């Protein structure tokens, strides 16, 4: 599934323009401890997190993720999203809870990453 | 001169602080242990500092005004100030950013405020260990604006340590030092080499307060001395992240 398709499926807004919407999603992940994600992230991941710090973008870039999804109306500064755009990573945001987003991703065929 | 310090101690106003962590017990324990300066850093409040300052002055132990803030990212961030007035002012500024979640003393512990005779004068209704609705970048900037120093607490500890929550020390955050927990591994990567590393007890119980194990090279054992030390980038004289060397000093 491409990021664009996921964005429509979960009805999310996009903070990064057209950047990364064509990225292919390889797996889904949900975690708010960045040290944990650094250890367990992988390429092509769609990562759901309520953390909105600049370090989120650094970790997503490190793993060459496809997109970051900010759930539950959490606010990411546009300046931080712009950094993601520079790195080719899409940032989506929505009022939906993380649990529901993960359910929709899973039902859409996105599986957990392989350990 | 070398002064023995413990710059992260909780009073009984912190819900997790033992009820025996009264102003008189903390200060007199510091005196007995031979500490030259302490910092009492309660969670998200400086409300106990005016009383603790009175007691510290009477006993003759230096006090560095402090508090331990919980950022939106659930990172614990120490704020050190030159004066108790500055700390209290800052405490008042961030109080509205603490969510209106009430403390449940049976679960989290009492949040007791005492006077200089250790008699109760009040208690805090809101749960003080909640996270503020301000990011670590915002709070760091606010601490600096209020004349303080921002020092991420126990960065290498699991819960509420900066490295667990944020993965690495964010570049561009204007920290003045890092508090490193003794006896826990500190990764080589992602730690700015220049930042002074401090070690403190994070004591919630009297028996966990430091002995004379952490020494700072300061002109005087007070806030002025500490601020100058940080400005000049002086590291603790015999502080060490090596648990064994500290333990051997304790033996």
pLDDT in tens, chain A (115 residues): 999 999 999 999 999 999 999 999 999 999 999 999 999 999 999 999 999 999 999 999 999 999 999 999 999 999 999 999 999 999 999 999 999 999 999 999 999 987 6
Report CB contact under 8 Å: A53, B168: no
pLDDT at B245: 41
ipTM: 0.87
Closest residue in chain A to residue B138, using alpha carbons only = A53
Chain A residues near residue B136 by CB distance under 8 angstroms:
53
Picking from A63, A75, A64, A86, the residue whose alpha carbon sits closest to that of residue A16 is: A86
CB atoms inside a 10 Å sphere around CB B228: 13
- Range 73-92 of B in CB contact (< 8 A) with A: 73
List the single residue in B73, B163, B164 with the smallest CB-CB distance to A53. B73
Q: How many Å apart are CA B163 and CA B157, to the nearest integer?
A: 8
How many inter-chain contacts (A to B, CB under 8 Å) are there? Answer: 36
List the single residue in A35, A37, A53 with the smallest CB-CB distance to B163. A35
Q: How many Å apart are CA B233 and CA B245, to the nearest integer?
A: 23
pLDDT at B241: 45
Chain A residues near residue B137 by CB distance under 8 angstroms:
53-54
List the single residue in B137, B166, B172 with the smallest CB-CB distance to A34. B166
Q: How many Å apart are CA B49 and CA B154, to the nearest integer?
A: 22
Report CB contact under 8 Å: B170, A52: no
Q: What is the pLDDT along chain B (251 residues), one digit of tens a residue?
A: 999 999 999 999 999 999 999 999 999 999 999 999 999 999 999 999 999 999 999 999 999 999 999 999 999 999 999 999 999 999 999 999 999 999 999 999 999 999 999 999 999 999 999 999 999 999 999 999 999 999 999 999 988 999 999 999 998 889 999 999 999 999 888 899 889 999 999 999 999 999 999 999 999 999 999 999 999 999 999 644 444 444 443 43
Question: Phi-psi region for residue B231, left (φ > 0), alpha (ψ -120 to 50) or beta?
Answer: alpha
CB atoms inside a 10 Å sphere around CB B109: 18
pLDDT at B158: 85
Q: Nearest C-alpha of chain A: how many angstroms from B184?
A: 16
List the single residue in A36, A38, A53 with the smallest CB-CB distance to B170. A53
pTM of the predicted model as reported, rounded to 2 decimal places: 0.91
Interface test with B, best of A31, A35, A41 (most B CBs within 10 A): A35
pLDDT at A115: 62
């Amino acid at each position: 599934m491409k990021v664009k398709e996921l964005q429509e499926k979960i009805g999310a807004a996009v903070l990064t323009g057209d950047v990364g919407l064509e990225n292919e999603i390889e797996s889904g992940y949900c975690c708010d401890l960045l040290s944990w994600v650094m250890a367990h992230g992988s390429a092509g991941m769609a990562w759901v997190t309520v953390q909105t710090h600049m370090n989120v973008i650094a970790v997503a870039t490190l793993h060459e993720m496809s997109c970051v999804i900010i759930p539950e109306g959490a606010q990411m500064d546009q300046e931080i999203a712009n950094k993601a755009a520079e790195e080719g990573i899409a940032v989506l945001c929505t009022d939906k809870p993380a649990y529901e987003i993960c359910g929709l991703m899973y039902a859409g065929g996105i599986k957990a990453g392989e350990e | 001169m070398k002064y023995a310090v413990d710059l992260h101690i909780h009073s009984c106003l912190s819900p997790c602080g033992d009820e025996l962590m009264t102003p008189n017990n903390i200060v007199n324990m510091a005196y007995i242990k031979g500490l030259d300066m302490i910092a009492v850093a309660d969670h998200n409040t400086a409300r106990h500092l005016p009383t603790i300052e009175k007691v510290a002055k009477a006993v003759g132990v230096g006090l560095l005004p402090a508090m331990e803030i919980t950022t939106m990212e659930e990172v614990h961030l120490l704020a050190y100030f030159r004066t108790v007035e500055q700390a209290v002012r800052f405490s008042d500024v961030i109080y509205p950013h603490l969510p209106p979640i009430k403390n449940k003393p049976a679960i989290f512990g009492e949040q007791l405020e005492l006077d200089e005779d250790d008699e109760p004068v009040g208690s805090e209704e809101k749960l003080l260990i909640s996270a503020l609705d301000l990011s670590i970048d915002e709070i760091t900037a606010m601490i600096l604006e209020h004349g303080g120093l921002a020092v991420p607490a126990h960065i290498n500890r699991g819960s509420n340590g900066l490295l667990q929550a944020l993965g690495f020390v964010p570049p561009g955050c204007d920290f003045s030092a890092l508090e490193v927990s003794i006896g826990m591994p500190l990764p080589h990567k992602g730690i700015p080499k220049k930042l002074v590393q401090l070690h403190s007890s994070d004591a919630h119980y009297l028996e966990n307060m430091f002995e004379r194990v952490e020494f700072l090279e300061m002109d005087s054992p007070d806030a002025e001395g500490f601020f100058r030390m940080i400005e000049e980038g002086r590291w603790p004289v015999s502080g060490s992240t090596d648990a064994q060397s500290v333990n051997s000093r304790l033996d």
